[in-house]
Amino acid sequence: MKIEILKEIIKKKSSKEQFAVLTNLSNGNSEIFEFGKPLSKDFENYKNEIENYYNLKKNGTINGTQIFILNYIKPIEVIIVGAVHITQYLIDLIKNFNFVITIIDPREYFTTEKRFQNIKIINEWPNKALEKIQTNSNFALITLTHDPKIDDPALNHALKNKFFYIGALGSKKTHENRCKRLKEAGFNDKEINSIHGPIGIKLGGKSAPEIALSIVVQLVSETNKISLKSRN
């Protein structure tokens, strides 16, 4: 593999871009593939097959060819609103998966480095903080503060930008009031019902670690649904 290709791979991996590396096993030539970009003569005859493997996030030699594809998958971005006690347990669990975590909380006294090491933290109100992040349907939102002034702007943003997962902590009554506010803000029932509230699957536990576990299980389940949809 040429040194120019290796440098480009390192650059793209550091910027968390999604791409694939193609290698023609018959002659050893390699190149980087990104959806929608033209292919060289080594690979252009296999465009449909390459795009299919790319969409399915499959690695290996493409059937009936001498083309090997290695996918570099863009990690899921998880935005956590609220640097509360549950957040610490949540991060301990999430870091074991291919997720990139950002905490948003305007209350700086909650977001000390001692509590959250090596985690990106934005100490601003969500409506301002989210303006600085280029979000899309590859994002997940978890709101944990119970404070409508903090949680609601984040929920508004996530719904408008079609996050694949949106979860909000709170009791059934809290969630009912939350849904009323979102309806008044102009969201329809389908959009509002896409929010997992109260957040997490039902494990029966009430402690912070148990709630964090229930959230992670739900998040991973919804993440896997994305992969299944792309294969159908």
pLDDT digits (tens, 9 = 90+) for 213-228: 999 999 999 988 765 4
**For position 226, what pLDDT does the model report?**
62
In the predicted structure, residue 231 carries a pLDDT above the cut 50: no
CA–CA separation, 34 vs 56, rounded Å?
14
Provide the pLDDT confidence category of residue 97 given band limits of 50, 70 and 90: confident
Higher-confidence position of 83 and 73: 83
Provide the pLDDT confidence category of residue 230 given band limits of 50, 70 and 90: very low
Rounded mean pLDDT, 21-50: 92
**For position 218, what pLDDT does the model report?**
95
Lowest mean pLDDT among 31-40, 151-160, 207-216: 31-40
**For position 113, what pLDDT does the model report?**
78
The residues with which 76 forms a beta bridge, in sequence order, are 99
In the predicted structure, residue 139 carries a pLDDT above the cut 90: yes
| DSSP string for residues in 78-134 | EEEE---HHHHHHHHHHTTSSEEEEEE-S-GGG--TTTSTT-EEE-S-HHHHGGGS-
Pairing of strands 67-72, 60-61: antiparallel
Residue 156 CB coordination number (10 Å): 18
- Mean pLDDT estimate for the chain: 90
CA–CA separation, 6 vs 34, rounded Å?
15
Rounded mean pLDDT, 110-119: 86
Q: Which residue has the tokens 């009554």?
A: 173
Rounded mean pLDDT, 71-92: 91
| Long-range contacts at 112-116 (CB < 8 A, ≥ 24 apart) | 115/83, 115/88, 116/83, 116/87, 116/88, 116/91
Rounded mean pLDDT, 31-40: 90
Q: Please provide residue 131's backbone torsions phi and psi, each rounded to the nearest 5 degrees.
A: -65, -25
The residues with which 181 forms a beta bridge, in sequence order, are none
Provide the pLDDT confidence category of residue 232 given band limits of 50, 70 and 90: very low
Residues of each domain in the chain carrying CATH 3.40.50.720 = 76-231
In the predicted structure, residue 57 carries a pLDDT above the cut 70: yes
Smallest Cα–Cα separation from 216: which of 95, 120, 83?
95
Return the amino acid letter for 125. Answer: W
CA–CA separation, 74 vs 60, rounded Å?
18
The residues with which 100 forms a beta bridge, in sequence order, are 77
Residue 20: DSSP 8-state? E
Residue 200: DSSP 8-state? S
Cβ(150)–Cβ(180) below 8 Å: no
**For position 104, what pLDDT does the model report?**
97
- The model's pLDDT over 145-199, given as tens digits with 9 standing for 90+, comes to 999 999 999 999 999 999 999 999 999 999 999 999 999 999 999 999 999 999 9
Identify the CATH assignment for 76-231 out of 3.20.20.370, 3.30.70.360, 3.60.20.10, 3.40.50.720. 3.40.50.720
**For position 74, what pLDDT does the model report?**
77
